[in-house]
Structure 1
Amino acid sequence: MKLAGFMLLLVNSAASINLKYISKRNSVDGCIDWSVDLKTYRVLAGEPLRVKCALFYSYIRTNYSVAQNAKLRLIWYRNKGDSEEPIIFSGHRLSKEGDSIWFRSAEMEDNGFYTCVLRNSTYCMKVSMSLTVEESEEGLCFSSRIRYQESAEITKSKMISCPDIDDYLAPYKQPIMTWYKECQRKEWRSSIIINTTSLWIPEVQEDDGGNYTCELKYGSRVVRRTTELKVTALLTTRPPKVLFPSERQASVIDVQLGMRLVLDCRAFFGYSGDSRPIIYWMKGDKFVEELEGHIRESEVRVVREFLGEKEVELSLIFDAVEETDMGNYTCTVENHIGRGSGSAILQKKDMYRLELVGGLGAIMLILGIFTAIYKCYNVEIMLCYRQHFGSDEADDDNKEYDAYLSYTKVDFESVEREMSEEELFALEILPDVLEKHYGYKLFIPHRDLIPSSTYIEDLARSVEQSRRLIVVLTPEFVARRGWSIFQFEPRLHSMLVTGEIKVIMIECSDLRSVINYQELEDLKHTIRVLSLIKWYGPKSSQLQSKFWKRVRYEMPAKRKESMSRRQVLDSGEQGLFGDLQAVSTVAMTATSASLAPAHVEIPDYNEPGHLQMHHFCRSYEYELPSSAIATLSGRHMYCSLPMTLLNGRLTQNNIGKPKRDIHLSSPFVPLSGPELSSDIW
């Protein structure tokens, strides 16, 4: 009677079991077969393992002791193909203990299915369990094939437990457990709490993702379990969004009949658990599968993914577009929250419009090329235009000079010192090239200005009679405030401020460290029409350099004049400007009755014995002290002498005295009247 009641209990338990979703196979030889249990045993090779008969935990409401008392036997089999072989327990590595079998040390050969059968002469029930044994991967303490999987939303809390270790915990004894991340001991941040068999993260961060391994000491062996934590974005509360075609307005696409077409649909899916993105194309109310055979969908591609949020793409492919393919196509996306869609309208391409767009594109390309060429060579282009088609700026302006040249003149007192590159350029190279090669008429004060009691007024009139004002910025010019006369003289200052004269400033070196530089910068802001040109030393002296092209561009437009053979320098005059052609020397004042000779000797500045002092000589009908003037054929010659000497102010007290140096770093350099009239031009 007792046995009959127990059997009734087993049958009722098996019939009413609803703890797991399982599939019951047909009874074979009167034995109820519950197929393979959902629980899978996973273990690393060399570690201990307990495999329990699932009948007592998921299928019948009784335990092993009660079954034994009811005269039921528990028999273990190992599946080999379609057959089952009884397991012989040796007790050395494999043993049976109650409702379980124990592997003292699991090996790779233990992989497979194990079946437990509970039976007597009138009753039989069985179920199979799966066992997977893996070796640790090289350099790691786990195998990625038998990891446990967990996920955690960023900024939320997460508990990571050490799974499937209950069989290895001794009652009333504290387990010895160590946690690793990526198989390395880790200094956990203070907010992470490690309990006996779990690890608590109160606020998950992006870098918390990875592999967590718990290691439990079990006798002389260890039991290891590895969990991969995947950090995800917060669970989305919105439907997916179509990125292309636009959700708001249908995209119109021009297509050409007979051509292949690929229509892409891109969409964004927020994190929604393990569900896959749902995305598909439709034409009207028809799915792609219902359309013509030459239209098909591609596989869904994940373009990018971050923390479970995905941007995916699905292509609608037309092998050859036909007339019937014109129309509205809709891309639809869905998740458990809702759906979204975007539309694209296919229409035949207007060939006239295509040609028009192509022509406009070609024109824009040509304009872009010409713009780039002009930006790079605008100076050369303007010079070429002025030479062949431009007018002479001097035709109707009633001005006598092309440019007034202002720079710091070298004194005879300091003539024994060697001139710097900047001084050589300002005193010799610049005037010679502009006058002798390009034929400009310059007003050079220390050469062309007649000494008189109205010096400042004469200088101002000379500037007014000039079309350009060239200021050569050398360190000595800046240190001596060479621009002072243009500030103090009202007429000159007005010309700069109002733009009546165009100013060309040539910077010969880096002047930022020179005293008074800031005052020069303030002056630049007051000049209305100003051009800045940088001189880069000897490499700028080449006639084909950008420097000379910029200088010519800023100078007045001038027609090219033919030159006679006698105006060309002979081979004996080949020096620094051996490749230059000489033109008539026109650097004369309006009151002069004669011209300087056209055949001018240019000294060889490369000769070591040259004094590096340029003497501009010019004859005047003017009575000067005989002690300071050399005579030639009954006419007087003024050769770049300081104004103090010509005015008779050079006293005997200055003879034999050492020359006065100009200290460029001095906080203030006084500018006396004699210096203003003799050194700065």
Structure 2
Amino acid sequence: MRLTMTDLCTVPPEVLSPSSSQTLEPTLGSQITLNCTVRLPFDEHCNPILSWMKDGHWLGNESSQYTLEEKTWRSDNASEKFMSSLLSVNLTSDENYGVFACLASNITATFTLQRSEAAGHVGAVLAALAVLALLLFVAVIYVKCRLNMLLWYRNHYGELELNDGKLYDAYVSYMNSSDDRKFVNFIVKPQLENRYGYKLFLDDKTILPNSEPSADLIMNVSRCRRLIVVLSNAYLEQDWCNNNFREGLWRLMELSQRPIFIVFQTQYREIVHPAINLLKQHKKAVTLLLWRTGSMTPSSDFWKELCLALPRKVSFQHAMGDPQTQLQEDKDPMLILHSSSLEHRGEPHPEGDLGLRGPIFRGPPTPRVTSSDGPTALAGGTMEEVQLSEGQRNEIDVSDLGSRNYGARTDFYCLVTEDDL
């Protein structure tokens, strides 16, 4: 069966490009070329035409926004014919975007052009600036809140130093000079004891006479969990600081773990003492704190760093706790024979030196015995009737004595005297 010339011309062409409808996203201001290529049986009398439409309207050659180029070639065996139409589109405005259709006989191939933002370095630069700003913000937050975060973590998950036989939290060594006494007694002691609840042992004598620790020093430091040295100019004038500070530093490090040295900023800049350089070299083994102008405020970094160097404090309930540190001077009402040693003594208020803290436990009243005739006799032998007015009660609450925790102590208790036996 032979095909006539008319039959060959009615054979629909095969679209080679595009293989399917395409969606392109060129940027504004660019130029794009749309390639429409078809294949059809060869016949020199068949001359199909490739036409273009945009959004349903025919495109002519009169527009400068479009450039059309057509090509025609045959296969090697001259049995097939190929036609190609290249449409170049200059995208100068939003009106140049749309749906382009290539028509060949009754075959249509479509290209959809959508606008896309220009790819450049602006986005990358903005992203880099955003990352840099984020890192700067994190760095500022770290610098401002680092000590607060460390304190929070230490107070919640830090190691507890209880039941170790220590009676004080820190041993404070300072020079018996006017400035040092004021600094220790009116700044350090009220702040650490009244605000943070630490218990200090103060010593204004030389801790290393003849570069050797005395027996009293060894005993007192062994009762304290930390060692604080107020390293002022007057302190550095001692013989052991001028002659054997390196050896003395090793002695102190043997007596206490990571001793704390406080240096004043005004003196820190002017002091050329070799002890300062030695402490800078051993920052990993000691804690060197600088007292600045703004360190007086309770929220300054100085107190936060000092609290980080001191043991973790634990808050106990009123009727519970470690008897080693809960009562002032380690005195328990059950262990004291005479009430005079536990009479009420006012202590500085946390907000200043004018107020008073709550009362300390008083001892029980003098024991009373009852004679056969009925009147009350005092322990000393003097007879006196004692009547308690309505509503008056004993000064010591003994209701919780059975629940006291005395297992925390390491020494022995003697609840009765030889006279009682």
TM superposition score normalised by structure 2:
0.42
Between structure 1 and structure 2, the one with the greater Rg is 1
Which has the higher relative contact order, 1 or 2, with Cα contacts under 8 A spaced 6 or more apart?
A: 2
TM superposition score normalised by structure 1:
0.28
Q: Could you say which structure has the higher strand fraction? A: 1
Q: Could you say which structure has the higher helix fraction? A: 2
